[in-house]
Amino acid sequence: MRRLAPYQTGLWLAEYVDIHCQLCRIYRSTPQSQLSSGKPSLNTTGSSSDHSLSSRLYHQFHHHLNKGLLCAYCHHSVAWLPEPFDVDIAVGSSLTIQAATYYDYPMREAIRAFKHHEDMTKFPLLLHAIRQLPRPHGCHHDNSVIVAMPTTNQRLIKRGFDPVGILSAQLSKHWRIPLWHGVQRIDDTVSQQGLTRAERLSNLDNAFALTKTPPVRRLLLFDDVATTGASLQALGRTLSRAFTDTTLNSPLVVA
Ligand SMILES: [Zn+2]
């Protein structure tokens, strides 16, 4: 993964060396494990089974290294998970879309700077948001894969890097669920902006092609931004055709 090297270095510096919040740059960052999410936290009291010495040492070591990326104050400004919403992908089958945070300041500016100007200083903030995504219930590395929204070769050449690929690699690490690359983008739709929802959908309907058969039945689709969910819906439709019944995918995700 040669492409990841520069991002990994910047991330390593932000996460382990720079003690300042990656958003305000004023306060000290707080380990993400100590920050609450927008969801009610799970009560883990009483589960003392994993408190062996080695596990305790591991957690202490990890805690020592992981200084976090945002301060508690900035975290609370982006910590609220939006309500998930469903889109239909086939008869009797729908896709649940869960965003990591709202598409608003400061996340909107960060994703635009990252995506359009390859601004790596925004990467830690985006990673912080990705780590807020709860792993879908029942999904693990043996029964699920993450499918990142594919891009066209043209767009990849023009942009020079693949922002969705980089973000999805981080999600894969966070959830410990592998990425699967079995779908190609075959359209050259430059922009969906300014089109109605119906126009977007018909435009997108033939935008993807499977190159392999999915290895598992649980496919977790990922995109960097989902406002209406039209692209994810179209990708979901293509993938659903790979299965004969309707138990295809459940949740999916967006930063
Ligand atoms: Zn801050």
| Distance in Å, CA 72 to ligand 1 centroid | 7
Cα separation of 252 and 84, whole Å? 9
Match 């499918």 to its residue by tokens.
Answer: 147
Q: What is the 228 CA–ligand 1 centroid distance (Å)?
A: 30
21 C-alpha to ligand 1 centroid (Å): 5
Q: Which of 217, 118, 233, 227 is nearest to 165 (CA)?
A: 118
pLDDT for 250? 39
The pLDDT tens digits of the residues spanning 181-204 come to 999 998 765 566 677 767 766 778
Q: Residue 234: helix, strand or coil by DSSP?
A: helix
* 176: phi then psi, degrees, rounded to nearest 5: 60, 45
Write the pLDDT tens digit of every residue in 208-241: 999 999 999 899 999 998 878 888 989 999 998 8
pLDDT in tens, 143-152: 999 999 999 8
Domains in the chain, CATH or no CATH each? 7-37+51-79 (no CATH), 80-255 (3.40.50)
- 15 CA to centre of ligand 1 in angstroms: 14
- As given in the structure block, the two tokens for residue 241 are 């055709």
Which residue in this structure is represented by tokens 């692209």? 231
- Continuous segment of H or E residues that includes residue 97: strand 93-99
Does pLDDT of 243 surpass 80?
A: no
**CA atoms of 205 and 193, how far apart (whole Å):** 16
Between the CA of 27 and the centroid of ligand 1 the distance, in Å, is 5
Residues 52-79, mean pLDDT to the nearest whole number = 72
Q: Residue 63: is its pLDDT beyond 70?
A: no
Residue 251 confidence (pLDDT): 41
Q: How many helices (H) and strands (E) does the chain have?
A: 9, 7
pLDDT above 70: percentage of residues in the chain: 77
Q: How many residues does the chain have?
A: 255
Token digits of residue 119: 């601004």
pTM comes to: 0.79
If we measure between CA atoms, which residue out of 134, 133, 74 comes closest to residue 105?
74
Distance (Å) from CA 28 to ligand 1 centroid: 7
| pLDDT score of 1 more than 80 | no
Tokens 């740059």, residue located: 25
Q: Which of 32-41, 109-118, 134-143 has the lowest mean pLDDT?
A: 32-41
pLDDT score for 9 = 73
Spacing, Cα 115 to ligand 1 middle (Å):
22
Amino acid at 112: R
Distance set, CA 249 to CA 66, 83, 109, 146 (Å): 33, 18, 30, 11
* pLDDT over 60 at 64, yes or no: no
Neighbours of 30 (CB within 10 A): 18
Report whether pLDDT(50) > 60: no
